[in-house]
A and B are shown apart, each in its own frame.
Chain A
Amino acid sequence: MPSDMVLTIAVVASVAGIAVLRLAWSRARRSMPLNAAGWGLLLVGFIAGWIAAGAWGSSVAALWAMGAAFVALAWAALTAPKGKAPASNRRVGMLPEGNEPRRIGGRLLTFLLVGVVAVLPSVGAALAIGKLGGLLGWSTANAVATALFAMPVIWGLIAYAMLMETGRRGQLKVLALSTIPTWPALAAGLLA
């Protein structure tokens, strides 16, 4: 089948997937078959895009899906009735309220731990993944590229895990645990 036709199938499946999900999620009760059909069509769009033109084709299919969803959102905005439902006022604890202590030092320390110190275990884990790839017989290019992509993902996960901890001890524990992959990689590098 010509790649243009497969790409067209990818685009149609992606847009149809959004339409089916729109239908599924507008029902009062959850419909597993419609949900599965919607997600399935999106998957078909992604795979057909890949078959047609690799990562480029899948990217184009994803853009069509997102574009279709934005059209549905625009329609929802235009047709939304006037409402007065009360908004959430859930507290997130970013600033003190009433007589609560400001904890400026503590907040600064959290920022430094998450936004600066966490770089070390992130780079360390990325190095470890690269080393592991080497041990598993990956090519140097694949090992280096995997490490490059892994570093920010790992940092993001460490940042999330640290901020999910409510106490300093828990944050430091996450930080300490995240350094574990670094040590063998560092030892291997220094001993080489």
Chain B
Amino acid sequence: MTAAPEPSTVKRALSAHAAIGLVAGALLYIVCLTGTVAVFYPELQRIEQARAPEMAKIAPAAVQRGVEAALQAEHGAPLTTHLYVHMPVPDLPRATITSDTRATHIDANGALAGPEEIAWSDFLVALHYTLNVPGLVGMTIVGVLGVMILALALSGVIAHPRIFRDAFLLRARNGSGVGLADWHNRMSVWSLPFSVAVALTGAVIGLGSLTVYAMALLDHGGDIQAVYEPLFGEEGKPDKRTAPPPNVAAALDYMAQHHPEVTITYVTLHDPLTRGQETQIAAEHERRLIFGETYRFDAGGRFIGVAGTSDGELGQQAAASTYRLHFGNFGGLPVKLAYILFGAALTVICATGTYIWLGKRRRRGHDEPRLLKAWDAVVWGSPMVLALTLVARFVLGNGAPLTAIFWIGSLLVVALAFAPIAPQRFRKALQVLLPAVCLLAGGLALA
């Protein structure tokens, strides 16, 4: 008796694997590439706006001054529904206050210190999260790509009955196509836990809105907040009558006294300057996957309770663990470096899958130089154009049209693939241009 699947099952699984990989290949490649780079989102922000004020920590009274100054700066505009204070943490030691319409740094004394200018870092994350498609549609598309990675993992394992037995066999110096297939299969099998974890968490983040929307329609008359509340805690009851700014300093003092072991990451003000306002403090707990626990305070800074993401129901803890497990920011630099390695492996797996398919067709007598060049344009051109957007950010400033540059640039490179250029020359040109543009972007970043 053997656990190996039937040959016909293997054949159909390989077809299923190829179908998903080829249809979703280019978008998967871009999402994996940008996700890998975005592991260093906080560090990229520091590079992009190097002159913003930095501090290891900030006093509660300074945060209070910063909040009041930021709310004062909003005067005349529609009242912001939320105000977020990013607190200085080791990988991003900056304090930044974000309202519905603007983001401003504050210095260690709480004085406003100029606008946050991280358009490229935000563009990179938006490209990964939504492929720059606005609203829920983009998130849903990327969520579907997460589902497709799950299906690719399953079909890939079934399509290769010896995938575990051969898991250390890497014939890297075989140029006939075996080497490429070995790289694809070996990296796939050994990064499988990582791939499944980031695909599942990415799909949950991207598609969660669809499930929640359906639950809200079916059980809560369309009230989406009612579905999320058991997971992430409730917000205060709205009362739009005006009120003075909340006492954020008292809330932070309470945290320092009662929870000195946690790292405060965000202070969030719900409906500020109204009688319904509430302060929520998000704090990371050491050696936990959860993004943090949420501590709730009333306008006077009196403690109300916690949301329960750290010690509440298992479902709360699981839902709160999705984000850091996906982003790789749960263990400092070592975990980030591991995510870079495995993220790069997943990106290479996406790239090699289509090359393997093209190679098989060529060996059966169907040479397709234009298809090969088009895939080269995706594989080598996308990172090149991404680096070009960083160059544009430094040359043109924070307002550079990064989304347009990336997508138009990428389409132009793919269009070039259909020009009468020899495939080897086309690939060589891209392989020379990619590091050249990366070097230029790096040079501008360090300048």
Contacts and interface: CB of A to CB of B under 8 A. Distances in A.
**Binding partners A and B:** yes
B178 interface: yes
A156 B147 contact: yes
Interface in A82-121: 82-95, 97, 110-111, 115, 119
A76 B168 contact: yes
* A contact face: mostly helix, strand, loop, or mixed: helix
Contact of B315 (A60, A141, A155): A141
B154 interface: yes
B147 A155 contact: yes
B313 A141 contact: yes
A17 interface: no
A155 B177 CA distance: 33
A84 B150 contact: no
B338 interface: yes
A21 to B, nearest CB: 7
A77 B342 CA distance: 17
B167 interface: yes
B136 interface: no
Nearest to A154: B147
Chief secondary structure at chain B's binding surface = helix
A152 B147 contact: yes
B231 A66 contact: no
Contacts of A97: 364, 366
A154 to B, nearest CB: 9
B212 A83 contact: no
A155 B150 CA distance: 9
Contact of B289 (A59, A65, A110): A59
B16 A115 contact: no
Place the interface of chain A in its size category: 35 or more
Contacts of B194: 62-63, 66
Contact of B170 (A73, A86, A138): A73
A166 B173 CA distance: 36
A80 B170 contact: yes
A82 B181 CA distance: 15
A110 to B, nearest CB: 8
Interface of B: 9, 11-20, 22-23, 143-144, 146-148, 150-151, 154-155, 164-174, 176-178, 180-181, 186-187, 190-191, 193-194, 197, 200, 203-204, 207-208, 210-212, 214-215, 218-219, 227, 230-231, 287-289, 308, 312-319, 321, 325, 330-331, 335, 338, 341-342, 345, 357, 359-361, 363-364, 366
Interface of A: 3, 21-22, 25-26, 30, 53-57, 59-60, 62-63, 65-67, 69-70, 72-73, 76-78, 80-95, 97, 110-111, 115, 119, 123, 126-127, 130, 138-149, 151-153, 155-157, 159-160, 163-164, 166, 185-186, 189-190, 192
7 contacts: A56-B331, A81-B173, A87-B178, A142-B315, A152-B203, A189-B219, A192-B219
Given A97-B364, A164-B16, 4 more contacts: A66-B338, A66-B342, A83-B171, A163-B20
Closest 3 CB pairs of A and B: A87-B177, A145-B315, A152-B203
